[in-house]
Structure 1
Amino acid sequence: MMSQRGLARVAGWLYLVVAVCGGYAQMFVRGRIVVPGDAAATAAHIREHTALFRAALVLDLVNIGCFLGVALVLYALLSPASRWLATSALVCNAVAVAVMAANLLNHYAALAAATRGPDERLAGFYMDVFAQGYLVAQLFFGLWLLPLGLLIYRSGLMPRAIGVLSVVGCAGYLGDLLRTPASPVMLVLAAGGEIAVVAWLLAGRISRPAAVTA
């Protein structure tokens, strides 16, 4: 049976893959190819960078699978501290994964519309729908950090400060959904919470076994 440190490192590596694959697909591919409000330009960019756009789809599939893996490993690691909180985190993660997976159909539809569809303007439409689906997934992605942060705080396996940062990260993701001038600050807070969790998990610096509770 794998040790707690081993489980922590597995979760850390999976979470790192989520950050790298998801961040690259969203910021460096869709962020550069999609032109909000200009369907023709979006379609042209997709045709020009078809291989890269396809790669983003594959990277997101990897991201989704690893994100679910993170939740399962952390459930095994942290559930002794609170079965209820661990289940809540797993449910939020599963909903986010389901929304992200379904939303990738819009990514593929945009690719198909731009490269072989009868109306290239549909590519912009599908990417607009994708953007809204991404926000729905972000809601549950953010919510998963709340029970996760409380679990970390309660378990004693990691510093309680990391649990607090995770809860702050939840607030950051949810605050960003409001699309206010403070959104960039909200995203920084969200990223800070996740970076702290990933770094500690990769280090495998697990303090002590969690107490079994309800």
Structure 2
Amino acid sequence: MRRRSFFLPGLAALLLTAGLLFAVVAPAAAHDEIVSSSPEAGSTIGGVPEEISLTFSGEILTDFSAVIIEVVAADGQNLSSGNPIIDGTTVTQAVQPGQAGVFTVRWRVVSSDGHPISNEYQYTVEAVAVPTSTPTPEATEEQTPEPSATTPATTSGEMHNGPSGGGELLPVLAVVSGVIVLGGALIVVLMVARERRRRDRAAAAAASGQGSRDGNTGKDGPADAS
């Protein structure tokens, strides 16, 4: 009888303890949990995403006041835009444009059992180098505009009256003409001077001959008188 009296209280205490443990563990095991995310936790992407998507193991209750998703940049600015969109087990949050860096996603939702769950994770956005475009030779060359259909055709008379390419030879022709004129004038001056010297020599010779004849006449005169 004593053994039975000790056995029954011990069994009752064991059952009570097991019941308490089950009461505590069962609700915790019933909570939903996050299954996947986009961007993934710890991932590195090449640009700031337009939205954050979280997928859970159960449907999320559509209590917008209890559903919060924050996308916090490295400078502490929350880039979440508008209210999150709940579609069954998926919650989507729009994100504003931002700079590259480490982003922290902080979320809180209400699981299908009515209990709120929350957590956070990080992802990294790399800075994308913008390639500089080098202008091609075709782009730098000046294109000759094509004549439009309304441009009047140039007549032969207008082409004849326009400036000709011989205008570049005018300075050369002027110099050559000047040299010819100066050369001709110099030749004329030399010829005139030569003719004048010839006349002077002829006049001097004539004067010298006349003097000789006058001297001879004077000598012959007295001889005849005797």
Q: Aligning the two structures, in what range does the TM-score lie when normalised by the shorter sequence? A: under 0.3
Structure exhibiting the larger radius of gyration computed from Cα positions: 2
Q: Which one has the bigger strand percentage? A: 2
TM-score normalised over the length of structure 2: 0.22
Q: Which one has the bigger helix percentage? A: 1
The answer to which structure, 1 or 2, has the higher relative contact order (CA under 8 A, 6+ apart) is 1
